[in-house]
């Protein structure tokens, strides 16, 4: 892998991780057309996700700290935070089960442009449905239920399919459930953190096969994903507030259809 490849993929990851257009799908497309690209397992992809995880932790640092200390505090605010933390744990269970079940197939699907194209079209459809139903959304973060958490966890687990956006599918699920857009986006980001951290831990076994000459490129890609991701978070939250998800639906439909047309 060249330094140019790493920086380019870091930019793609930083933008697409938070915009509801599938970072894995865009990475798969870029890697497919980059000459001589290779990585041990999905180690580089996971490192890029670690970069955007760092962006999430920095952007939501107050929320993360508040959630982590909530079990040790006895205030009304801490009680609400403990409930939210519990919902994140509940959501993480189906995510982990589905992710582990599909883990061995993901690498093969990353190279299958038909799967990527079809999942991008599905992402666009989910966003369109979620946006259409969002007008009825009156529920805030405090009204999230266990059912919301389980359904969103399932959506996040299925998003290991390249082309199926994690943020797009989880936010669309919550919008369809009548949850306010900003609350849906915030919960989506918070529940992504343990999932990404878990995937990173599972990929540690591939470190032994990483060529020493590629270490600098891996670190550069991770740093770029972190920096670009900080800006993309703000952009997505602004898009959610302005109710403009339909444009991402159209984008996913067009890219998915073009990819299927080229591949087939």
* Domain chopping of the chain, boundaries: 3-263
On the CB side of 46, how many CA atoms lie within 13 Å of its CA? 21
pLDDT at 41: 76
Length of the chain: 264
Can you tell me the distance from the alpha carbon of 204 to that of 223, in angstroms, rounded to the nearest whole number? 18
Measuring CA to CA, how many Å separate 10 from each of 1, 42, 88? 13, 14, 27
Sequential pLDDT tens for the chain (264 residues) = 889 999 999 999 999 988 889 999 999 999 999 988 888 878 899 899 999 999 999 999 999 999 999 999 989 899 999 999 999 999 999 999 999 999 888 878 888 999 999 999 999 999 998 888 765 557 888 999 999 999 999 999 999 999 999 999 999 999 988 898 888 889 999 999 999 888 888 777 777 778 778 899 999 999 999 999 998 888 777 777 676 788 899 999 999 999 999 998
pLDDT at 34: 92
Measuring CA to CA, how many Å separate 230 from each of 57, 66, 173, 242? 10, 20, 24, 19
pLDDT at 243: 65
Q: Are 9 and 31 in contact (CB under 8 A)?
A: yes
Can you tell me the distance from the alpha carbon of 259 to that of 253, in angstroms, rounded to the nearest whole number? 10
Strand, coil or helix: 53:
helix
pLDDT at 241: 67
pLDDT at 145: 96
Q: Are 123 and 251 in contact (CB under 8 A)?
A: no
Residue 247, exposed/middle/buried by CB under 10 A (0-12, 13-18, 19+)? exposed
pLDDT at 135: 56
Structure token pair of residue 214: 């590629």
pLDDT at 18: 84
pLDDT at 236: 76
Can you tell me the distance from the alpha carbon of 21 to that of 145, in angstroms, rounded to the nearest whole number? 26
pLDDT at 255: 96
Structure token pair of residue 96: 């982990």
Residue 240, exposed/middle/buried by CB under 10 A (0-12, 13-18, 19+)? buried
Structure token pair of residue 258: 């073009």
Can you tell me the distance from the alpha carbon of 255 to that of 150, in angstroms, rounded to the nearest whole number? 30
pLDDT at 239: 75
């Amino acid at each position: 892998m060249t330094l140019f490849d790493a920086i380019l993929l870091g930019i793609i990851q930083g933008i697409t991780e938070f915009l509801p257009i599938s970072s894995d799908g865009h990475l798969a497309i870029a890697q497919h057309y980059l000459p001589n690209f290779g990585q041990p397992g999905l180690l580089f992809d996971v490192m890029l996700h670690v970069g955007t995880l760092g962006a999430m932790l920095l952007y939501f640092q107050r929320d993360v700290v508040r959630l982590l200390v909530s079990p040790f505090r006895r205030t009304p605010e801490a009680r609400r935070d403990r409930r939210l933390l519990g919902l994140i744990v509940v959501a993480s269970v189906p995510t982990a089960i589905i992710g582990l079940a599909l883990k061995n197939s993901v690498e093969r699907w990353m190279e299958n442009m038909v799967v990527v194209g079809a999942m991008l079209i599905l992402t666009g459809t989910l966003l369109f449905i979620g946006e259409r139903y969002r007008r009825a959304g009156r529920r805030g973060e405090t009204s999230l239920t266990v059912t919301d958490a389980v359904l969103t966890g399932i959506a996040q687990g299925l998003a290991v399919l390249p082309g199926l956006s994690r943020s797009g599918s989880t936010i669309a699920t919550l919008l369809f459930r009548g949850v306010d857009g900003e609350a849906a986006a915030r919960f989506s980001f918070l529940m992504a953190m343990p999932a990404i951290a878990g995937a990173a831990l599972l990929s540690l076994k591939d470190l032994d096969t990483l060529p020493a000459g590629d270490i600098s490129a891996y670190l550069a890609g991770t740093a770029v994903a972190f920096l670009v991701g900080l800006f993309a978070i703000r952009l997505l939250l602004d898009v959610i507030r302005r109710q403009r998800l339909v444009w991402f639906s159209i984008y996913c439909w067009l890219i998915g259809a073009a990819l299927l047309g080229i591949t087939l």
